[in-house]
A and B are shown apart, each in its own frame.
Chain A
Amino acid sequence: MADFNIRSDSVNVEQIMEQIRARIREKRGVDYTEQQISELAAVKMEKFLDARGVRSDLLEEFRRMRPPVDAPVRPNYVFDETTLFDTHRAPIRWIRRLLQPILKLFFNPNPLIQALHIQSQLNTMQAQAEAEQLARGPARDQLTFEVMHNLVLEATRMGIEVKNLKMRVESLSSRLEFNERRARVLESAVVYKAPEQPADRGFQQPAAPARSDFESRQSEPRPQADYRPRPEPVQERRAPSAPPAAAPAGAQPGAPEGPGQRSRRRRRRRGRRGGASAASVMGAGPVPGGSASVQADGHSGTPHESDHEAEPSPSDDLPDAADFTPGGPGDPEPDDAQ
């Protein structure tokens, strides 16, 4: 967090803010504000709605399409047991009531009266329900609009997040791929280990009294990091019996070697004396010429080593591999100083 790259002694707040914003973009991808998300969502909504010939102002559109209407006045009637015989003329009403028993001799009007009465009640209930539904209409439209609006916003936000996550997954994949490659390189150092060449022993110092690795590292100066351009990595995998790749200029046989190289060789030999070489265990045949091997993925494991000695055993190289960090995880090759 604190690694702002300000080289001047004086502070320029605008410059710092630019760096902070760049850092935010790096860390979080494109960081949209709420307003920007709304704008993006509105654009998508317009596109979506244009296909249906509807404008983006959904709520207004809903209102326009469904203008507020009053509850329709549906015809209804009141029907009870006297309705059939009712009239505003009192004498006629009296006569009908008088003749009602005679009428009932011909047919029974009661079921008819009951059916019409029930129908009247049903009509009333239906009208009330429609009126309530109409009254709730605008509120429901509002809620529908809000739900749609929120859905579109969330969908946009999710889209952006998915895009950012995809970028992160890609980044992680590439890192993982690199780590796998590096692991393969280290593993192949065991598989393609060249046998020891007796001639090489002529370069070696007599075995020193046994010292721990730490002591030897402490007592001998570490070789300086070599920042010269590195040789192009070999593109295809070579068989163990193939002739060796051209060694770099600094790695010609007989070229002077640094104290670090000598100490590494000593360490390796010490390790080998403890038992059979890893190559013989794995069944690898001798390599003609004793060349440094070219490794599986086209990366030369130790391209700068000048000696034609056997490849280092894993026990020698693995601690060194941990020192690759100067280049960081994105560094495709181990550091020369290793």
Chain B
Amino acid sequence: MKLAIVVQRYGLAINGGAELHARYIAEHLARHADVEVLTTCATDYVTWRNELAPGVETVNGVSVRRFRVKHQRDPRLFGKLSDRVFGERHSLADELDWLDAEGPTSPALIEYLGKHGGAYDYCLFFSYRYYHAYHGARAVPSRAILVPTAERDAAVGLHMFHPVFRGVRALMYNSHEERAMIQAVSGNEHVPGIVVGVGSDVPQNPQAARFRQKHNIRGPFAIYVGRIDQNKGCPELFDFFQRYAKEPTGRLSLVLVGHSLLPIPQHPRIRHLGFLEDADKFDGMAAADLLLMPSYFESLSMVALEAWALGKPVLANAKCEVLKGQCVRSNAGLYYERYAEFAETLHAIEHNRWLSGSLGRNGRQYFQNNYDWRVIERKYLDMLAQLQANPARHTMDPLPGRAERRRDDLAAAQDVLDRLPGSSGQDRRRA
């Protein structure tokens, strides 16, 4: 079986959620099939500048074919089009312009798929919201398997994506919440889909003491791992933690791991360590009392899964349905919506060793049951076998004609999102 993994960026140095997800899946499926990765020459997800050479190379034993990006993102144009399609009545042409402005616009990749798509049994497209997934799935609809990695943001309300959700051969969801949202917005219940997620290569013996010694960290602490960004809920985390630190019973410190796009508050109990290598990161997670996940938008938090794999409890932002759902299903994490809950849950995990131990044990079990690589691989292989056994019974709706595309009759994407079940009116547009 020959598979293509189509993703916006790819490489060992790229640690974005969907990209890492794609790499892990490619490397694990390569044990069972002939896998080739189709991607762009970009490494920066903001500019999509061509930084790697086009052509074929091998990364961790997987063949990677890169294509040039036609133009970089123009932030002003992208912002203007985002305001239009998310906030106003607009046309399909506006949405296509938005997609083109978002990038990574690589017509060469789409052209390659159009010409050589027949050489692959299936093409797995990662991240529905990018140019390569939309146009790629339209180029080879009968072979397209979509891994949407959709979050509860306004992009899911864009009308152009709905025929894609309905027209691909199968969808590999990251969470039950993601599946419910996509089914509600597009009505694609007839398309085969399964909640899979992704595993993680967590070391067996992380060295907590080594981490403490290396970074001179003493006492109990909570850890945050990931990009320190507005969209990740970090300003709220800083605010809550500084208030918590004023309370006399709170003894935890906060350790931040990851690149920062925000100023870090100057506080004696907040430490920013920057980006760490995987081994160091896992040591840090093993040394921590808990993992904090303040993000509003997640399709699947790999960091939370890694914390659970290490037997650590997670404290998540309840405004993110996916994180809350994972905490409830796993019984391995608590969640908060406002400061009072943040402080109480943090105190509970900090002071009740039985509770934190039980949450950690549940997390480890949840990870083993659902996100062990053997489970993930089996789910993918079963889905591929099912698709081979059952020929496609549905097709993708073609793009409407030029005149119809220009008609301003589409509702604002934010309004579409707000009308979805479970919307609390607080779902926000990604910055």
Task: Mark A residues whose CB is within 8 Å of B.
Answer: 1-2, 4, 6, 9-14, 16-17, 20-21, 23-24, 28, 31, 33
Cα A10 to Cα B344 in complex, Å, equals 20
Contacts of A14 in B (CB 8 A): 328
Interface residues of B in 306-361 (CB under 8 A from A): 327-328, 331-335, 337-338, 340-341, 344-345, 347-348, 351-352, 355, 358-359
Expressed in whole angstroms, the Cα–Cα distance for A9 and B359 within the complex equals: 11
Neighbouring A residues of B174 by C-beta, 8 Å: none
- For chain B, the bracket of interface size reads 20 to 34
Instruction: Give Cα A216–Cα B330 distance, bound, in whole angstroms.
Output: 56
B390 touches A (CB below 8 Å): no
Least CB distance from A200 to B in Å reads 52
Given A1-B351, A2-B348, A20-B348 in contact, is the A13-B328 Cβ separation under 8 Å? yes
B331-A12 in contact (CB<8A): yes
A-contacting residues of B (Cβ < 8 Å)? Answer: 249, 327-328, 331-335, 337-338, 340-341, 344-345, 347-348, 351-352, 355, 358-359, 362
A sample of 10 cross-chain residue pairs with beta-carbon separation below 8 angstroms, ordered by A number, consists of A2-B347, A2-B352, A13-B328, A13-B334, A14-B328, A16-B355, A17-B335, A23-B344, A28-B340, A31-B340
Residues of A near B340 (CB, < 8 A) are 24, 28, 31
Given contacts A12-B331, A14-B328, contact A21 B362 (CB under 8 A): no
Q: Indicate which residue in B249, B327, B341, B351 contacts A21 across the interface (CB closer than 8 Å).
A: B341
CA distance A28 to B338 in the complex (A): 13
Report whether B344 and A16 are in contact in the complex, using a CB–CB cutoff of 8 Å.
no
Contacts of B335 in A (CB 8 A): 13, 17
Q: How many Å lie between the Cα of A152 and that of B344 in the bound state?
A: 29
Q: A2-B351, A10-B358, A28-B340 given. 9 additional CB < 8 A pairs?
A: A4-B348, A4-B355, A6-B355, A9-B358, A12-B331, A14-B328, A20-B334, A20-B344, A24-B340
Q: Which residues of A contact B337 (CB under 8 A)?
A: 33
Answer whether A20 and B341 are a contact pair too, CB < 8 Å, given A10-B331, A12-B331, A13-B328. Answer: yes
| Residues in A whose Cβ lies below 8 Å from that of B341 | 17, 20-21, 24
Q: Is B327 touching A20 in the complex (CB atoms < 8 A)?
A: no
CB of B338 within 8 A of CB of A1, answer no
State how many angstroms separate the Cβ of B353 from the closest Cβ of chain A.
8
Complex alpha-carbon distance, A10 and B354, angstroms: 11
Question: How far is it, in angstroms, between the C-alpha of A21 and the C-alpha of B336 when the chains are bound?
Answer: 10
- Complexed CA–CA distance, A1 and B328 (Å): 22
The residues of B that contact A31 with a CB separation of less than 8 Å are 338, 340
| A17-B334, A20-B334 known; A11-B362 Cβ under 8 A | yes
CA A180 – CA B249 in complex, angstroms? 30
- Docked Cα-Cα span, A9 to B340, in Å, equals 27
B349 to A: closest C-beta gap in Å: 10
Q: Are B359 and A11 in contact (CB under 8 A)?
A: yes
In the assembled complex, the Cα of A20 lies from the Cα of B358 at a distance in Å of 17
Task: Report chain B residues within 8 Å CB of A24.
Answer: 340-341, 344
A21 to B341 alpha-carbon distance, docked (Å): 7
Q: Determine how close the nearest CB of chain B comes to the CB of A138; give it in whole angstroms.
A: 23
Asked if A13 and B358 sit within 8 Å, CB to CB, the answer is no
Which residue of the partner chain, among A10, A12, A16, contacts B348 with CB atoms under 8 Å?
A: A16
